[in-house]
């Protein structure tokens, strides 16, 4: 199975700053990589699919990049509502594994 490793585990930033989250795969998942956002007490929601395409309704401050084994989620200017946990997930091969998550917290 493909193991996804996210870094950092926790990222402390201030509103208005830029956030860069990383996801590394143990083997290639091509561009079959999604990013989900989860806020406390809520179900996750899809942000990015196909490594770089935004899901419907997702603001353009969120962007994804990468292919193969190295992927990045960038939030250009953090808004207060962006502080949450972010998970990457590969859907190129079963099982559709998740990374362990990056917690984005207010500094």
Tell me which residues touch other proteins (CB under 8 A).
1, 32, 34, 36, 38, 43-46, 49-50, 53-56, 87, 89, 91, 94-101
* 17/81 with CB nearer other proteins: 81
* 1/17 with CB nearer other proteins: 1
* 80/95 with CB nearer other proteins: 95
- Integer Cα distance of 21 and 83 in angstroms: 13
Tell me how far, at minimum, the Cβ of 22 lies from other proteins, in Å: 16
Nearest to 87 by CA among 77, 78, 97: 97
Structure-block tokens of residue 91? 């859907």
Could you tell me if 24 and 5 are in contact, meaning their C-beta atoms sit under 8 angstroms apart? yes
Tell me how far, at minimum, the Cβ of 50 lies from other proteins, in Å: 7
* 14/43 with CB nearer other proteins: 43
Tell me how far, at minimum, the Cβ of 14 lies from other proteins, in Å: 25
């Amino acid at each position: 199975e493909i193991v996804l490793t996210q870094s950092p585990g926790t990222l402390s930033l201030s509103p208005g700053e830029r956030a860069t989250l990383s996801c590394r795969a143990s083997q290639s998942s091509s561009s079959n990589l999604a990013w989900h956002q989860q806020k406390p007490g809520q179900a996750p929601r899809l942000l990015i699919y196909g490594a770089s395409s935004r899901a419907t309704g997702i603001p353009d401050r969120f962007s994804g990049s990468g292919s193969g084994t190295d992927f990045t989620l960038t939030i250009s200017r953090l808004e207060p509502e962006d502080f949450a946990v972010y998970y990457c997930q590969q859907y190129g091969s079963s099982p559709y594994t998740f990374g362990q998550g990056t917690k984005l917290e207010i500094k």
